[in-house]
Chain A
Amino acid sequence: MQSHKKVLPHAMRKPLFSATSVILSIVFVAAFALSGGAQHTGENQKDSTQVHADSTSAEGHSAEPEKFNANETIIEHVLDAPVWHFTDHTVLPLPVIVYSKEKGLAIFSSGKFYDEHHKEIEYNGYKLVDGGKNIAIAETGEKVLNLSITKNVAMLFITAILLCYVLFSVASSYKKNPGKAPKGLQSFIEPIVIFVRDEIVKPNLGHHYEKYLPYILTLFFFILFGNLLGLLPGAANLTGNIAVTATLAIITFLMTNISGNAAYWKHIFWTPGVPLPLRVIILPVELIGVFTKPFALTIRLFVAITAGHIVLLSLICMTFMFHSYFVGIGASLVVLFINLIELLVAGIQAYVFALFTSLYIGMATADDHH
Chain B
Amino acid sequence: MEFLTPGTGLLFWQVIIFLALVFLLGKFAWKPILGSLKEREESIQKALDSAEKAKTEMAALKSDNEKLLKEAREERDKILRDARTAANQLHDEAQANAKKNADKIIADAKAIINSEKQAALSDVKAQVAQFSLEIAEKLIKKNLADDKSQRELTETLIKDLKLN
The reply on B40 being an interface residue by CB < 8 A is yes
Stretch at the interface among B22-30, B69-77, B92-100, B102-110: B22-30
Q: Report how far A152 CA is from B2 CA in the complex, Å.
A: 15
On chain B, the residues within 8 Å of A75 by CB distance are: 2
For chain A, residues 184 to 237, give those with C-beta under 8 angstroms from any C-beta of chain B: 189-190, 193-194, 197, 210, 213-215, 217-218, 221-222
On chain A, the residues within 8 Å of B10 by CB distance are: 80, 150, 152-153, 156, 241, 243-244
The DSSP consensus for interface residues of chain A is helix
* Contact A243 B11, beta carbon cutoff 8 Å: yes
* 1/0 contact string of A155-196 vs chain B (CB within 8 Å): 011001001100110111011001100000000011001100
Smallest CB separation, A220 vs chain B (Å): 11
On chain B, the residues within 8 Å of A78 by CB distance are: 3
The reply on B31 being an interface residue by CB < 8 A is yes
On chain A, the residues within 8 Å of B28 by CB distance are: 168, 171
The reply on B163 being an interface residue by CB < 8 A is no
Contact of A79 among B2, B14, B33 (CB under 8 A): B2
Contact of B2 among A131, A148, A215 (CB under 8 A): A131
* 1/0 contact string of A260-291 vs chain B (CB within 8 Å): 00000000000000000000000000000000
Known: A153-B13, A242-B6. A218 touches B26 (CB 8 A): yes
* Contact A133 B7, beta carbon cutoff 8 Å: yes
Contact of B17 among A134, A147, A157 (CB under 8 A): A157
Stretch at the interface among A9-17, A23-31, A245-253: A245-253
The reply on A340 being an interface residue by CB < 8 A is no
On chain A, the residues within 8 Å of B51 by CB distance are: none
* Contact B2 A133, beta carbon cutoff 8 Å: yes
The reply on B37 being an interface residue by CB < 8 A is yes
* Contact A247 B15, beta carbon cutoff 8 Å: yes
* Contact A243 B14, beta carbon cutoff 8 Å: yes
* 1/0 contact string of A113-145 vs chain B (CB within 8 Å): 000000000000000001101100000000001
Q: Report how far A163 CA is from B22 CA in the complex, Å.
A: 11
Contact of B18 among A134, A147, A149, A251 (CB under 8 A): A251
On chain B, the residues within 8 Å of A302 by CB distance are: 3
The DSSP consensus for interface residues of chain B is helix
The reply on B21 being an interface residue by CB < 8 A is yes
Q: Report how far A250 CA is from B13 CA in the complex, Å.
A: 14
On chain A, the residues within 8 Å of B21 by CB distance are: 160, 163-164, 218, 222
Contact of A146 among B9, B19, B25 (CB under 8 A): B9
On chain A, the residues within 8 Å of B83 by CB distance are: none
The reply on A306 being an interface residue by CB < 8 A is yes
Contact of B8 among A145, A193, A194 (CB under 8 A): A145
Q: Report how far A313 CA is from B28 CA in the complex, Å.
A: 38
Known: A167-B25, A242-B6, A251-B18. A174 touches B33 (CB 8 A): yes
Smallest CB separation, B22 vs chain A (Å): 5
* Contact A214 B40, beta carbon cutoff 8 Å: no
* Contact A156 B5, beta carbon cutoff 8 Å: no
Q: Name which residue of chain B comes closest to A303, CB basis.
A: B3
Q: Name which residue of chain A comes closest to B11, CB basis.
A: A243
Q: Name which residue of chain A comes closest to B40, CB basis.
A: A179
On chain B, the residues within 8 Å of A131 by CB distance are: 2
On chain B, the residues within 8 Å of A152 by CB distance are: 7, 10
Smallest CB separation, A128 vs chain B (Å): 12
* Contact A171 B8, beta carbon cutoff 8 Å: no
On chain A, the residues within 8 Å of B22 by CB distance are: 214-215, 218
* Contact A179 B43, beta carbon cutoff 8 Å: yes
The reply on B123 being an interface residue by CB < 8 A is no
* Contact B3 A217, beta carbon cutoff 8 Å: no
Taking Cβ atoms with an 8 Å cutoff, the residues of B that contact A are 2-15, 17-22, 24-26, 28-37, 39-40, 43
| Closest CB pairs A-B (n = 5) | A243-B6, A214-B26, A167-B29, A174-B36, A243-B10
A-B contact pairs, 22 of them (CB 8 A): A80-B7, A97-B9, A133-B7, A146-B7, A153-B9, A160-B20, A163-B25, A164-B25, A168-B28, A170-B29, A179-B36, A190-B33, A194-B37, A197-B37, A210-B34, A218-B18, A218-B22, A241-B7, A243-B6, A246-B6, A251-B15, A251-B18
Taking Cβ atoms with an 8 Å cutoff, the residues of A that contact B are 75, 78-80, 97, 130-131, 133-134, 145-150, 152-153, 156-157, 160, 163-164, 167-168, 170-172, 174-175, 178-179, 189-190, 193-194, 197, 210, 213-215, 217-218, 221-222, 241-244, 246-248, 251, 302, 306
Given contacts A147-B8, A170-B29, A222-B18, 11 further A-B contacts (CB under 8 A): A79-B3, A131-B2, A134-B7, A150-B9, A153-B13, A163-B21, A171-B32, A214-B26, A214-B31, A242-B4, A247-B15
